[in-house]
């Protein structure tokens, strides 16, 4: 504690106002009690009558039980014993837990920094509510394992490709219901996809946000109550599982929506997730209670597991310091996604802890290599020269940024491929470690010392962006580049990037496969270098380098390859070309930080995009 200031100690010294209020309330009650004792009298009769009245039903019940025993004593007794045994088991779970044990009756209050404006998970706006609503109320058809790989079985639905991969069949688990009791069957799922592509037969007033993702779907046919066939609109879509039952496809009920309309659903969502919606006050709080009929147990093998706490409440604190203050004041149990500077005050304390969850996506500098002329100067594009690109890779000490400017929990990335994936260095003598002399030499050799360019950083989403970006800029400048940074509004920059209108290098994150996991069919999509990726410089009409065309060919082929081994080989070959030619400058994987009270236990990690999922959080009794 010696390194802590007076102000730190002052802030952590609490005067327990609640205790004082509690004590005065008890004193007040005591005084009132004493006063009542003094003027009791008539009340005594009432008190005596009350137990007598209560005793009557008890006697009747006893008589009824005796009669029932006479009728079928042996059978009843056996049932009663069985029921008692069940009750005992339940009691074990529901009894007040000992200190350190999981409290299944607890309420978990999470302070979020962002809140959904609508609870309809199928609109673009509603899709932003992963943390506060979607993760709790909704589930997808299929299940991920901890490596974030979709499983053909083990979810609410199992899938298989049939008819030479021209048909995608989903078979649902029997007995699954939505929170309102409506069954999750093939009819409901068909309606869900039709609503997603704005084609459902009812008065639809919302714009299905995932219509583009299911462009691969042709005819949707209900085979039987639990089986759905989806024909391919074109060539077989290898990522059909992801684009029908993956993370973006939270299933909604059919009858409920048809009967109540879109607007009602947007304010009273019904899903089949671990928690059922109770109430919400927009931009204030969302309350949910555990769905006791959830289909999977808490120890299920894959992603879908029953919730732990009884009640889940999300509260909205957009200002980060206010969110942290709410945690300190005991108003919330978790301060969701806070910066490393704010998290610091909760580290090494008795009452709080900081949970660090890695983001598997790699922050990278995307380089404009596909235009022969620099679109800004009109001269030859220096980024076409592999030596310039390599110089940028050797120039940045990303490890130092991780250690000194970030939390230290981030991971220095040497490629856009996940940690644990064999580094595809090909014929190179090693990875791009920090080597400013080598960077300078490469730049001189290319005749590009003093090469001036601008990097666009979309701001506001990535942790510490205004802290680490100046360091990146300075390191590039130190080896001979002249870099200007454009700290752009995230939304505007996103539009420019998505429209392929941003001519200069930009910062973005890419890759979405968990450390060491095999590369799934959708992996190419997450690579920002590829043609067809939303966040890329590449346009089909560009003047591509021959090595890029080879890379793209492999990516395209891998993306259509149903054989997992062959697909992985193709990806590795593509990755090697990508790496040897330094198509991007990978920096590091960021981390997401969550400050919690120290009685919160969290051991699950499934969802890379939304991080901490309160559904899996346990509250330990204190």
Partner 1 sequence: MSTQLASDAVARFLRGVAVVFLVVTIVFVLSRATGDPINYLAPIEATAEEIEGIKDRLGLNDPLVEQYGRFLADTVQLDFGKSFRAQRPAIEVVRERVLNTVLLGVVALVFAFAVGIPFGIIAAVRRGGGVDLISRLFALLGQAVPNFWLGLMLILFLAVNFDFLPTGGRVGVTSFILPGITLGSFPAAAVMRFTRSSMLDTLQQDYIRTARAKGLNERGVIAKHALRNSMLAVVTLLGLQVGGILAGSVVVETVFAWPGLGFLIIQSIRATDYPVVQAAVIMTSIWIVFVNFVVDVSYSFLDPRIRTGVN
Q: Shortest distance, CB of residue 493 to partner 1, whole angstroms?
A: 9
Q: Please, are residues 333 and 600 in contact by the beta-carbon 8 Å criterion?
A: yes
Nearer to partner 1, 83 or 322 (CB): 322
Q: Shortest distance, CB of residue 409 to partner 1, whole angstroms?
A: 26
How many Å apart are CA 161 and CA 30, to the nearest integer?
72
Nearer to partner 1, 125 or 568 (CB): 125
Q: Shortest distance, CB of residue 353 to partner 1, whole angstroms?
A: 18
Q: Shortest distance, CB of residue 108 to partner 1, whole angstroms?
A: 17
Burial 18-41 (b: 16+ CB within 10 A, else e): eeeeeeeeeeeeeeeeeeeeeeee
Nearer to partner 1, 301 or 489 (CB): 489
Nearer to partner 1, 82 or 281 (CB): 281
Nearer to partner 1, 86 or 501 (CB): 501
Q: Please, are residues 311 and 290 in contact by the beta-carbon 8 Å criterion?
A: yes
How many Å apart are CA 437 and CA 434, to the nearest integer?
9
Q: Please, are residues 366 and 505 in contact by the beta-carbon 8 Å criterion?
A: yes
**Does the CA dihedral 434-436-437-440 come out positive or negative?**
positive
> Tokens representing 478?
């130190």
Nearer to partner 1, 101 or 331 (CB): 331
Q: Phi, psi at residue 298, to the nearest 5°? A: -70, -25
Residue 553: name the closest of 580, 583, 578 by CA.
Answer: 578
DSSP 3-state helix, strand, coil percentages of the chain (rounded to 5)?
35, 20, 45
Across the strands, what pairs with 167? 162, 231
All residues at 6 or more sequence positions from 602 whose CB lies less than 8 Å from its CB, including other chains: 355, 596, 612, 616, 617, 618
Q: Shortest distance, CB of residue 507 to partner 1, whole angstroms?
A: 17
DSSP for 35-65, please give it: HHHHT-THHHHHHHHHHHHHHHHHHHHHHHH
Residue 353: name the closest of 87, 13, 26, 601 by CA.
Answer: 601
Q: Shortest distance, CB of residue 207 to partner 1, whole angstroms?
A: 7
Q: Please, are residues 457 and 507 in contact by the beta-carbon 8 Å criterion?
A: yes
Nearer to partner 1, 128 or 431 (CB): 128
Q: Shortest distance, CB of residue 506 to partner 1, whole angstroms?
A: 15
How many Å apart are CA 186 and CA 221, to the nearest integer?
9
Q: Shortest distance, CB of residue 495 to partner 1, whole angstroms?
A: 4
Element (H, E) at 224: strand 217-224
Q: Shortest distance, CB of residue 426 to partner 1, whole angstroms?
A: 31
Residue 372: name the closest of 517, 548, 515, 237 by CA.
Answer: 548
Q: Please, are residues 262 and 205 in contact by the beta-carbon 8 Å criterion?
A: yes
Q: Please, are residues 328 and 476 in contact by the beta-carbon 8 Å criterion?
A: no
Nearer to partner 1, 5 or 565 (CB): 5
Q: Shortest distance, CB of residue 211 to partner 1, whole angstroms?
A: 7
Nearer to partner 1, 419 or 531 (CB): 531
Nearer to partner 1, 13 or 38 (CB): 13
Q: Shortest distance, CB of residue 17 to partner 1, whole angstroms?
A: 5
Nearer to partner 1, 283 or 543 (CB): 283
Q: Shortest distance, CB of residue 184 to partner 1, whole angstroms?
A: 24
Residue 580: name the closest of 389, 360, 369 by CA.
Answer: 389
Residue 523: name the closest of 576, 564, 571 by CA.
Answer: 571
Task: Tell me which residues touch partner 1 (CB under 8 A).
Answer: 10-11, 13-18, 117-118, 120, 123-125, 127, 205-207, 209-213, 215, 262-263, 266, 281-285, 315-319, 321-322, 325-326, 328-331, 489, 491-492, 494-495, 498, 534
Q: Please, are residues 589 and 419 in contact by the beta-carbon 8 Å criterion?
A: yes
Nearer to partner 1, 284 or 474 (CB): 284
């Amino acid at each position: 504690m010696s390194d802590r200031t007076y102000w730190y100690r002052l802030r952590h010294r609490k005067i327990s106002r609640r205790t004082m209020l509690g004590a005065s309330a008890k004193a007040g009650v005591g005084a009132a009690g004493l006063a009542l004792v003094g003027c009791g009298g008539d009340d005594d009769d009432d008190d005596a009558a009350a137990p007598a009245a209560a005793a009557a039903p008890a006697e009747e019940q006893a008589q009824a039980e005796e009669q029932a025993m006479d009728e079928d004593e042996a059978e009843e007794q056996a049932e009663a014993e069985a029921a008692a045994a069940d009750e005992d088991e339940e009691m074990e779970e529901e009894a007040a837990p000992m200190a350190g044990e999981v409290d299944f009756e607890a309420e978990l209050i999470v302070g979020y920094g962002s809140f959904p404006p609508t609870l309809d998970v199928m609109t673009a706006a509603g899709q932003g509510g992963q943390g506060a609503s979607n993760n709790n109320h909704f589930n997808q058809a299929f299940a991920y394992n901890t490596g974030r790989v979709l499983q053909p079985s083990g979810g609410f639905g199992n899938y298989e490709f049939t008819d030479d991969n021209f048909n995608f069949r989903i078979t649902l688990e029997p007995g699954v219901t939505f929170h309102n009791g409506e069954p999750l069957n093939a009819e409901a799922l068909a309606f869900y996809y039709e609503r997603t592509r704005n084609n459902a037969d009812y008065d639809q007033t919302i714009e299905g946000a995932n219509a583009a993702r299911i462009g691969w779907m042709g005819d949707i046919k209900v085979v039987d109550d639990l089986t759905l066939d989806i024909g391919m609109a074109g060539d077989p879509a290898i990522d059909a599982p992801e684009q029908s039952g993956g993370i973006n496809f939270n299933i909604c009920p059919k009858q409920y929506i048809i009967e109540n309309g879109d607007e009602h659903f947007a304010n009273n969502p019904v899903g089949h997730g671990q928690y059922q919606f109770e109430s919400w006050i927009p931009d204030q709080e969302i309350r949910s209670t555990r769905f006791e009929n959830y289909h999977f147990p808490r120890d299920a093998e894959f992603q879908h597991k029953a919730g732990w706490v009884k009640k889940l409440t999300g509260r909205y604190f957009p200002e980060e310091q206010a969110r942290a203050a709410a945690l300190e004041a005991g108003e919330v149990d978790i301060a969701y996604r806070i910066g490393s500077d704010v998290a610091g005050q909760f580290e090494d304390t008795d009452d709080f802890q900081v949970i660090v969850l890695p983001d598997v996506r790699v922050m990278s500098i995307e380089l404009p290599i596909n235009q022969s002329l620099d679109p800004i100067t009109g001269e030859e594009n220096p980024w076409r020269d592999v030596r310039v690109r390599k110089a940028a890779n050797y120039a940045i000490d990303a490890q130092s940024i991780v250690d000194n400017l970030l939390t230290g929990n981030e991971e220095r990335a040497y490629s856009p491929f996940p940690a644990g994936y064999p580094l595809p260095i090909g014929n190179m003598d090693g990875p791009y470690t920090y080597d400013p002399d080598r960077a300078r030499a490469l730049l001189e050799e290319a005749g590009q010392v003093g090469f001036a360019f601008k990097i666009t950083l979309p701001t506001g989403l990535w942790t510490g962006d205004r802290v680490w970006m100046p360091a990146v800029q300075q390191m590039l400048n130190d080896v001979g580049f002249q870099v200007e940074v454009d700290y752009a509004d995230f939304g505007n920059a996103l539009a420019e990037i998505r429209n392929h209108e941003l001519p200069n290098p930009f910062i973005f994150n890419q890759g979405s496969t968990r450390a060491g996991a095999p590369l799934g069919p959708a992996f190419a999509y997450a690579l920002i270098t590829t043609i067809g990726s939303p966040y890329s410089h590449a346009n089909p009409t560009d003047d591509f380098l021959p090595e890029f065309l080879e890379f793209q060919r492999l990516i395209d082929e891998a993306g259509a390859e149903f054989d997992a081994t062959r697909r992985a080989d193709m990806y590795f070959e593509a990755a090697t070309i990508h790496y040897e030619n330094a198509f991007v400058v990978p920096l590091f994987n960021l981390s997401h930080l969550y400050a919690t009270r120290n009685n919160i236990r969290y051991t699950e990690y499934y969802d890379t995009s939304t991080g901490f999922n309160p559904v899996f959080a346990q509250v330990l009794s204190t």
